[in-house]
């Protein structure tokens, strides 16, 4: 019979155990840090009703959605976690307490063309604070990100900050209010396209050469955070939107300092716009300093009305998202992540024959009851093959139980690092394993 070749769809990914262990370690860092700041877990169905998920309709997003019919249902796979969050909040509005601190970690699906680091199925890790107009909460997402990336230990990073009110106020001053959304999207792409391409695209929006020069000069304002604030305050711009944006940005910088985020890790950058329409205030993007070619590895911002598509209740908030699948892939490709841990248990118990299995089962249960992750090896083969298995998986200790060990009510414990073996009573073996000591 012809065998069906095992394969997965293009744009999807699966990991070998060592890779999955490392991915889960990073995922655990994200989850535990989110929870330490008081964010509450939520999950939503991977599938939503299409008319609900795509309520806004149109655009590139709808073309990337996996959509299908089953019975009388028109269903779509979620393409991000923000729209399902909006639906969730609107659904449970009367059961939630606001401001609602939530985190959502899950897979999302986009039917876009696969390429290096871009997948059709991938994990996003989002936090959102919903139902708050307080400017103080804007400092919480970047503070959380600072802690997470510090724990990741991928090297130094920079959280780039801006406020859409500053850009919108500046556009008002130039008379560009009607095309401000288009200009924002182009500013968001400035670092990905050439100056000529940018100029051509701005000209298509009917900007004059003078206006283009003003936009480029303004977004090019540089210096340290204090210097940029000073230069913004020195601008002869009468727009109240602009002035409010500068004040909010200044308060954000002050709050991050108060929260203990190192100044070297956050920087005002007027080119950060976040092209999505729903952002209305503070915006963030994070880059790894040693790997700028990766682009933004974490982004987000403030929005005025998260669930306006589903409810008349205004639900402002702020959020940020880590695209963990893409980040993991890129850092693995760059050699920053080198997954090599094959085992989650440090200890494997290996009875040398079937007669020793009862003692092995008892020993394994005792070790686990004491908090020692322990695997039981059950295959009936010779000692050489048993130890080869322990070495390949990467166990720290191999506990050997043979006839002599059974008669002496003890175990032989082999340190797989040093290669030394010692005959110990079970209590002494537990002390050794718990201390992670060498024989």
Tell me the pLDDT band of 181, cut-offs 50, 70 and 90. Answer: confident
For tokens 């986009």, what's the residue?
Answer: 110
Q: How far is CA 213 from CA 196, 325, 393, in A?
A: 12, 38, 61
As a residue count, the chain comes to: 439
Give yes or no for a cis peptide into 177 (omega within 30° of 0): no
**Domains and their CATH numbers in the chain:** 17-333 (3.30.930.10), 347-435 (3.40.50.800)
How large a percentage of the chain has pLDDT more than 90? 76
pLDDT at 117: 74
pLDDT at 65: 93
Beta pairing partners, 77: 47
Tell me the pLDDT band of 110, cut-offs 50, 70 and 90. Answer: very high
Dihedral sign, Cα of residue 138, residue 107, residue 116, residue 20:
positive
Is 2 a residue whose pLDDT tops 90? no
Contact present, 75 and 31 (Cβ < 8 Å): no
Is 58 a residue whose pLDDT tops 60? no
50: left (phi over 0), alpha (psi -120 to 50) or beta: alpha
Which letter does DSSP use for residue 49 in this model? E
Tell me the pLDDT band of 176, cut-offs 50, 70 and 90. Answer: confident
| C-alpha–C-alpha distance, residues 304 and 245, integer Å | 14
Tell me the pLDDT band of 294, cut-offs 50, 70 and 90. Answer: confident
What are the pLDDT digits (tens) for 273-288? 886 677 899 999 999 9
Tell me the pLDDT band of 324, cut-offs 50, 70 and 90. Answer: very high
Is 60 a residue whose pLDDT tops 90? no
What are the pLDDT digits (tens) for 235-274? 999 999 999 999 999 999 999 999 999 999 999 999 998 8
Contact present, 287 and 157 (Cβ < 8 Å): yes
């Amino acid at each position: 019979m012809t065998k069906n070749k095992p394969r997965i769809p293009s744009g999807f990914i699966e990991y070998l155990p060592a890779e999955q262990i490392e991915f889960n370690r990073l995922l655990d860092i994200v989850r535990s840090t989110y929870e330490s700041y008081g964010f509450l877990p939520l999950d939503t169905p991977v599938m939503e009703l299409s008319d609900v998920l795509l309520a806004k309709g149109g655009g590139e997003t709808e073309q990337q959605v996996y959509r299908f019919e089953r019975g009388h249902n028109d269903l779509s796979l979620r393409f991000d976690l923000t729209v399902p969050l909006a639906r969730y909040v609107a659904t449970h509005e009367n059961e939630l307490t606001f401001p609602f601190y939530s985190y959502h970690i899950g897979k999302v699906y986009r039917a876009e063309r696969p390429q290096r680091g871009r997948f059709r199925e991938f994990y996003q890790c989002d936090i959102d604070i919903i139902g708050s107009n307080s400017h103080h909460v804007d400092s919480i997402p970047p503070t959380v990100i600072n802690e997470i990336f510090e724990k990741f230990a991928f090297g130094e990073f920079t959280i780039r900050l801006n406020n859409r009110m500053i850009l919108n106020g500046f556009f008002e001053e130039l008379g560009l209010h009607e095309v401000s959304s288009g200009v924002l999207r182009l500013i968001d792409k400035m670092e990905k396209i050439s100056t000529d391409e940018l100029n051509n695209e701005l000209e298509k929006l009917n900007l004059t050469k003078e206006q283009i020069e003003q936009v480029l000069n303004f977004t090019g304002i540089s210096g340290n955070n204090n210097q940029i604030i000073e230069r913004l305050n020195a601008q002869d711009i009468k727009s109240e939107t602009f002035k409010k944006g500068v004040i909010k940005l200044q308060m954000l910088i002050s709050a991050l300092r108060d929260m203990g985020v190192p100044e070297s890790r956050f920087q005002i950058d007027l080119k950060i716009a976040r092209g999505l329409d729903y952002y209305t205030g503070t915006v963030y993007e994070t880059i790894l300093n040693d790997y700028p070619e990766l682009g933004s590895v974490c982004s987000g911002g403030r929005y005025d009305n998260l669930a306006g598509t589903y409810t008349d209740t205004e639900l402002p908030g702020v959020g940020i998202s880590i695209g963990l699948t893409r980040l993991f892939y890129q850092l693995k490709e760059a050699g920053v992540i080198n997954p090599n841990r094959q085992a989650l248990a440090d200890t494997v118990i290996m009875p040398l024959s079937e007669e020793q299995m009862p003692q092995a089962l008892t020993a394994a249960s005792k070790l686990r009851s004491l908090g020692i992750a322990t695997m039981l090896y059950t295959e009936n083969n010779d000692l050489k093959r048993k130890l080869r298995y322990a070495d390949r998986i990467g166990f720290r200790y191999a506990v050997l139980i043979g006839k002599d060990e059974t008669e002496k009510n003890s175990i032989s414990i082999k340190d797989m690092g040093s290669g030394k073996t010692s005959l110990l009573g079970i209590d002494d073996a537990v002390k050794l394993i718990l201390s992670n000591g060498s024989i």
